[in-house]
Amino acid sequence: MCLDDARYALRVPEEPDGDVMVQASADSDVGIWVRGVTRRFGTAEALRGIDLSAPYGRITALVGPNGAGKTTLLLILATLLTPTAGQVRVAGLDPVADPDGVRSRTGWMPDALGVYEQLTPREYLAFFAEAYRIEPALVADRVAALLARVHLAEHADQPVHVLSRGQKQRLGLARALVHEPRVLLLDEPAAGLDPRSRSELRDLLRELAASGVAILVSSHILAELEELADRVVFVAEGRTVSEEEIAGVSRFVVSGWRVRALDDAALATALAARGIAPLGITAAGSDLPPMSDVDAAALLASLVGDGVPVIAFGPIGGQLEAAYLALNKERR
């Protein structure tokens, strides 16, 4: 188990000291609130003025290139680093003034999970339940429910060291949820997961958000984030570039589109009549030149109106990935 994991879990009291509670901004719907946060390591500036908010009941994606400061920010939110300057509130509390209070309300899943290899998953979760001072009478049932929730019940009494990387990731998520946090911080949670496990992770996180949990997730798997998140915060070089609703990221890009129809000849004729030459044709469909959402919607309507049996029509690649690339052109 890594040092940060131990520091995080083993200092959480049953109730925070009311004398050191610091209230967040006036918006009680925000689980995470960050303004002007900087962090220096000697002369190196990892964060240069990050702004971010993550509301309760929604999933916020944190997106940026390597070295953008994502993990540094998550460590600050998890109380494992202190900011050099700026304001931070997590579940209404200041992580610097009241780290124990923040930990009692926050679930933290780092990208590199440390585990006690000789414990079983059941023992591992029970250990953390005790560290979070959960009522002893509740521990056994809560641990069993979590193991079932992350599909590890059949491995509950095997040593952790026999688990695959993906299974350890799921165990890490169960550990982050053992005290029923109001805020969840996830750094690359899908790393090592197979497609089915990723789908189950998406379902679980959507369920948690629907129950009112504020979730902040960082990942390089942008296609997964696009399906999962409600909002996105783009960061680069330690600064916030943009904070958007997922539905609004298309404003950054004009995407190419792909259309597929049951009748290829009818599709080709209809596109030619509109002066549109496909950039390529594959089994996935005909790739069309870039166009706005409005123009794409009009084209689809006209194709259907002409009787072309369209069965698939959408942007090539994800909108989130396209927006990310558009905002990071200088890195190419």
Mark whether 57 and 141 lie in a shared domain.
yes
* Domain limit, last residue, from 224, 250, 276: 250
DSSP annotation of 20 reads G
Q: With respect to residue 321, please indicate whether it lies within any of the assigned structural domains.
A: no
Instruction: Determine the Cα angle at 82 with ends 89 and 13, to 5°.
Output: 65
Mark whether 269 and 240 lie in a shared domain.
no
Mark whether 17 and 96 lie in a shared domain.
yes
Mark whether 203 and 89 lie in a shared domain.
yes
Q: With respect to residue 326, please indicate whether it lies within any of the assigned structural domains.
A: no
The confidence score (pLDDT) of residue 303 equals 96
If one counts the domains in the chain, the total is 2
- Tens digit of pLDDT per residue, the chain (332 long)? 444 454 455 444 444 443 333 343 435 679 999 999 999 999 999 999 999 999 999 999 998 888 889 999 999 999 999 999 999 999 999 999 999 999 999 999 998 767 778 899 999 999 999 999 999 999 999 999 999 999 999 999 999 989 888 888 899 999 999 999 999 999 988 877 788 888 888 889 999 999 999 999 998 777 778 888 889 998 989 999 888 887 666 565 667 889 999 999 999 999 999 999 999 998 889 999 988 888 899 999 999 999 999 999 988 866 777 677 666 664 44
Task: Evaluate whether 183 touches 105 at the Cβ level (below 8 Å).
Answer: yes
Mark whether 129 and 202 lie in a shared domain.
yes
Bridge partners, residue 313, by sequence: 259
Strands (E), the chain: 30-41, 44-55, 59-63, 85-90, 106-109, 183-187, 214-218, 231-236, 239-245, 257-261, 280-282, 285-288, 310-315
Mark whether 163 and 285 lie in a shared domain.
no
- Distance separating alpha carbons of residues 287 and 270, to the nearest angstrom: 14
Mark whether 16 and 152 lie in a shared domain.
yes
Q: What is the mean pLDDT of the chain?
A: 85
* Domain limit, last residue, from 250, 267, 297: 250
Mark whether 280 and 209 lie in a shared domain.
no
Mark whether 243 and 269 lie in a shared domain.
no
Mark whether 226 and 273 lie in a shared domain.
no
113: CATH: 3.40.50.300
Mark whether 105 and 199 lie in a shared domain.
yes
Left, alpha or beta for 163 (phi > 0: left; psi -120 to 50: alpha)? Answer: beta
Mark whether 232 and 97 lie in a shared domain.
yes
Domain assignment of residue 182, given as a range: 3-250
Residue 60 CA: distances (Å) to CA of 104, 186, 245:
21, 10, 9
